[in-house]
Amino acid sequence: MNDIALNREDITALSSDVRIAILKALDDRSGNSINDLAGELDLARSTVHQHLGILIDSGLIKVDGSRKWRTYSLTSKAQRILHPEKGHRILLLLGTSIFTLTAGLFFIHSYVCGYTVQDTSTIHDPLMLIIGELLLILAIALWYTLFRLRKAKKRNSI
């Protein structure tokens, strides 16, 4: 799902310490211009420009030319390379939300149907209803978090 396929251009782009430093600088603060990057990395503008060209050709950074100055930011591919653990966060949240939804429905079902104690009477414990409702609220909160993560991921990949 989140496998990163690297081709020869990607490996060439990642083989330079300067280009790795540029990627890390853009990861810390997106929207840097050549002047910002040259000042931050203490390099000449021409050097930064040359390395940016290689990173753009490999699809690791993108250019925003809509402003007065060209700014550079990471693509989703570069973000997956720099932060491979972020893809697992979504899967973990999804699995947890499905579990809490199922548990919440089970507790609500236990309240509605009740349970019998020593063949005497059916008990409808309100604690089951409260726990079930809390688990359903937690599942909804997890889904909201997933939605926000996906929305942020799509915004960063544009």
CA distance 5 to 11: 10
Highest mean pLDDT among 81-95, 117-131, 134-148: 134-148
Nearest Cα residue to 41 out of 77, 32, 59? 32
pLDDT of residue 105: 93
**With 70 as the cut, is the pLDDT of residue 126 above it?**
yes
End-to-end CA distance of the chain: 19
Residue 113 exposed, middle or buried by CB count within 10 Å (0-12, 13-18, 19+): exposed
Tens digit of each residue's pLDDT (9 = 90 or more) over 36-68 = 888 888 889 899 989 888 888 888 888 887 667
Chain CA centroid to CA 115, Å: 43
Given a cut of 60, whether residue 1 has pLDDT beyond it is no
Separation of alpha carbons 8 and 28, rounded Å: 26
pLDDT score of 65? 73
2-11, 104-113, 116-125: range with lowest mean pLDDT:
2-11
Phi/psi of residue 25, each to 5°? -65, -40
Per-residue DSSP letter, 68: S
Q: What is the pLDDT of residue 138?
A: 93
